[in-house]
A and B are shown apart, each in its own frame.
Chain A
Amino acid sequence: NAGVMQNPRHLVRRRGQEARLRCSPMKGHSHVYWYRQLPEEGLKFMVYLQKENIIDESGMPKERFSAEFPKEGPSILRIQQVVRGDSAAYFCASSQAPGMNTEAFFGQGTRLTVV
């Protein structure tokens, strides 16, 4: 049973380009969470999705950022027109349906560098 897979591990984008970060949850997990970790800062919640639904996006910047978790395929975090301040590590986690097993399993992260 493979863990949470994120790709790419490292992504370099020029200012103004788009960044697409992918997250494949663990098998059987239908809940995905995205977090951003800025240098020397903690883990900041961005968005919580279930299949085809955004449950909580209170941590997402209002502009340029979007997330989806389609019925088939990985969850995608999309950042349009990236700026230097978007440089960070983006972590994805997945869990089973809420309940006793709400433990989240994390991917290795995608490190985005905007140049």
Chain B
Amino acid sequence: AQSVTQLGSHVSVSEGALVLLRCNYSSSVPPYLFWYVQYPNQGLQLLLKYTTGATLVKGINGFEAEFKKSETSFHLTKPSAHMSDAAEYFCAVSDPNNDMRFGAGTRLTVKP
């Protein structure tokens, strides 16, 4: 079965700084990869997804992620953090015939 590892349960950046949230996956078949965001007391919202095609995927709110097969990674980045980006971020993996599995999450804090 597939699995996801998110490196760093907490990440803190200053407003305007680069955001980098790490995700590595394990899958026996070509994976579908997702990043979700969860704001306090809310459900998860999809930020972006990779299925096939271009390996650099752009999502909402200025986020993007790059699928690197050789590194089995799907790291999430944003060039300039905003206070409103403070939330918990989850990386997820699924394959065409299996269920979706999430990483443990990374809590992003943005300092003024």
- Interface 9-mer from A39-47, A65-73, A74-82: A39-47
Q: Which residues of B contact A107 (CB under 8 A)?
A: 43
Q: Does A103 contact B (CB under 8 A)?
A: yes
- A-facing residues in B19-39 (Cβ within 8 Å): 32, 34, 36
Cβ–Cβ < 8 Å partners of A98 in chain B = 94-98
Interface size class of B (residues with CB under 8 A): 20 to 34
> Bound complex: CA of A56 vs CA of B92, how far in Å?
17
Q: Which residues of A contact B32 (CB under 8 A)?
A: 102
**A20-59 near B? 1/0 per residue, CB < 8 Å:** 0000000000010101000001110100100000011010
CB of A108 closer than 8 Å to a CB of B: yes
Interface residues of A (CB under 8 A from B): 4, 31, 33, 35, 41-43, 45, 48, 55-56, 58, 91, 93, 95, 98-100, 102-109
